[in-house]
Amino acid sequence: MPRATPLWLLLTVQTAVSAASLVVEIVAGRMLAPHVGMSLYTWTSIIAVVLAGFSAGHWWGGRLAGRRLDKALARTGGALLAAALTTAVAASLLRLVASPLLATVDHPVWGIAAITMAVFFLPSFFAGVPAPVLAHVSVTRAAPDQQGRALGAMFAAGAIGAIAGTLLAGFLFISWLGTTATLAVVTATYVASGLLLLWLARSAALVAAAIAGAIALALSGLALAAPTPCTVESRYFCIRTVDMSADPDSPVHLMVIDHLGHGMSARDAPTVMFTEHAAMLDELARRRAPRPDFTSFFIGGGSYSIPRAFAERGTGQMVVAEIDPAVSALAARDFWFDPETVTILHEDARRALLTRPDRRYDMIIGDAFTDVVVPVHLVTREFFDLARSRLTEDGTFLMNVIDYEDRLRALGSILRTMREVFPSVEVWTQAIQPEPGSRMVFVIAAGNAPSDFDEFSAPMPFRMTFGALDGRFVSSIAQARGQILTDDYAPIDRLIGRPD
């Protein structure tokens, strides 16, 4: 027979395992972000895969609960050691399989699901095994008139652990330890819980289990020693600085947030834009500005390339709403940006506009689109109403949009929504014939009056010409492919998705 198993000890194990399993679920989102970004699709895949793992683990644990008590505890301890091993290798496995799976599975949504299944199903499966076994043991060992209370306490312990794990991961572990160290803590929790259950079961395999636990901890250590993909891992993003310099004496850096580039700057060319959208935003803002010393509000900072260029040219006051202080710090450190030249608000851009009703700007510049990841609250009619109310009479709202040539449903919906708010809405893009089905970058310029030009060239590393789409074509896109986006309903993730 197993050793005496007081209820408090079973409750402690259940709370610890439940907390650890939820930590893995939250960490999974951060781990996937450098490979596939952080989107509705990412979290949907994570939640579905983790719940599937828990469900399968609960089923298997229910089968184990029907065995003799010592064998049930011993095998549950073994399952927790398996959870430790699969958690310990999760970071290394993700680096190994992410690129091949994304190359094999062409559709981005299914690619995200495939990566999540490959890396996080087994840790969730093994972590789901203990709950029914521990519940069965607690009921079996309780007095007949205490069995219902014991069962309720086990369910409560699981819920409390889940809450604790979620809060610890989101508010403490990820921002203070990083993802790999957090997984090492989870691995140690599983090892300790598994060995405890094997000891309670008086298992003859305790020594072998201890060796397996040591291997799991060693694998966690190896993962910690591996190079991290992040230059900085903040509360919000995995941020990298990538050296793109052709000449070491003239450095050029690219800022990558999660899995996409968010700006590039050259130390010796502060006014040169290296991306299409930045070149259009920079040029359109200056051409449409009502005066040379125009004021501007930026939705997002990124590498701060455009604010840096504006400061170099001596425009008016600039305000940047960048939700992540780590992005601003890295821009100052690696992208030659002087934070003294702007007012930085480390908060959500919509909140920043909403809570400062007395401020008006000549330019509001939005860079919200990052492929399939778009902040929904920044593309709705309510937000565009707010943005217009914060513009001067001659002001302009600029935002970049990414869509696919043979789809244009996201562009059409944003156009249709903005046309309900602004009297004039223009669409600008590179003046070339796009390839069928190609990914296209647009900038929308909205205000009270149209531009007095329909083409311009921008001083990128090589000169590029941009033009405004014909107004009739813009109207046809908005009417035929667009829908009104509101705070209540804005399926922008689906609209911008690649064609099936």
User: How high is the pLDDT of residue 1?
Assistant: 60
Q: Is the pLDDT of residue 304 over 90?
A: yes
Q: What is the topology classification, in CATH, of domain 7-229?
A: Growth Hormone; Chain: A; (1.20.1250)
C-alpha to C-alpha distance for 311 and 318, rounded to whole angstroms? 9
Q: What is the mean pLDDT of residues 125-134?
A: 96
User: How high is the pLDDT of residue 398?
Assistant: 97
Q: Is the pLDDT of residue 229 over 90?
A: no
Q: Indicate the pLDDT class of residue 497, thresholds 50, 70 and 90.
A: low
User: How high is the pLDDT of residue 498?
Assistant: 55
Residue (of 133, 326, 348) closest to 232 by Cα position: 326
C-alpha to C-alpha distance for 394 and 17, rounded to whole angstroms? 59
Q: In this predicted model, what pLDDT tens digit does every residue of 256-300 receive, in sequence order?
A: 988 778 889 999 999 999 999 999 999 999 999 999 999 999 999
The number of beta carbons lying within 10 Å of the beta carbon of residue 382 is: 16
Q: In this predicted model, what pLDDT tens digit does every residue of 235-261 receive, in sequence order?
A: 888 899 999 998 989 999 999 988 778
Q: Is the pLDDT of residue 435 over 80?
A: yes
Structure tokens at 377: 């609250």
Structural element, H or E, at residue 265? strand 260-266
Q: In this predicted model, what pLDDT tens digit does every residue of 6-27 receive, in sequence order?
A: 899 999 999 999 999 999 999 9
Q: In this predicted model, what pLDDT tens digit does every residue of 436-472 receive, in sequence order?
A: 888 899 999 999 999 999 999 987 888 899 999 999 9
What residue type is 61 in one-letter code? G
Which of the residue ranges 65-74, 368-377, 470-479 would you say has the lowest mean pLDDT?
368-377
Q: What is the mean pLDDT of residues 321-344?
A: 95
Q: Indicate the pLDDT class of residue 416, thresholds 50, 70 and 90.
A: very high
Q: In this predicted model, what pLDDT tens digit does every residue of 174-203 receive, in sequence order?
A: 878 888 999 999 999 999 999 999 999 999
User: How high is the pLDDT of residue 381?
Assistant: 97
Q: Give the CA distances from residue 334 to residues 34, 108, 130, 269, 386, in Å, rounded to whole numbers and listed in that order.
A: 19, 31, 48, 14, 34
Q: What is the mean pLDDT of residues 166-174?
A: 90
Q: Indicate the pLDDT class of residue 351, thresholds 50, 70 and 90.
A: very high
User: How high is the pLDDT of residue 436?
Assistant: 87
User: How high is the pLDDT of residue 106?
Assistant: 76
Give the domain ranges of the chain: 7-229, 238-496
Structure tokens at 361: 């700007």
CATH number of 238-496: 3.40.50.150
What residue type is 191 in one-letter code? V
Averaged pLDDT score across all residues of the chain:
91
**For the chain, first and last CA: distance in Å?**
58
Q: Is the pLDDT of residue 371 over 60?
A: no
Q: Is the pLDDT of residue 495 over 90?
A: no
Where b means 16+ CB within 10 Å and e means fewer, 265-301 reads bbeeebebbbbbbbbbbbbbbbebbeeeebbbbbbbb
Percent of the chain topping pLDDT 90:
71
Q: Give the CA distances from residue 354 to residues 297, 321, 359, 464, 486, in Å, rounded to whole numbers and listed in that order.
A: 13, 12, 10, 36, 17
Q: What is the mean pLDDT of residues 295-321?
A: 95
Burial class (CB in 10 A: 0-12, 13-18, 19+), 136: buried
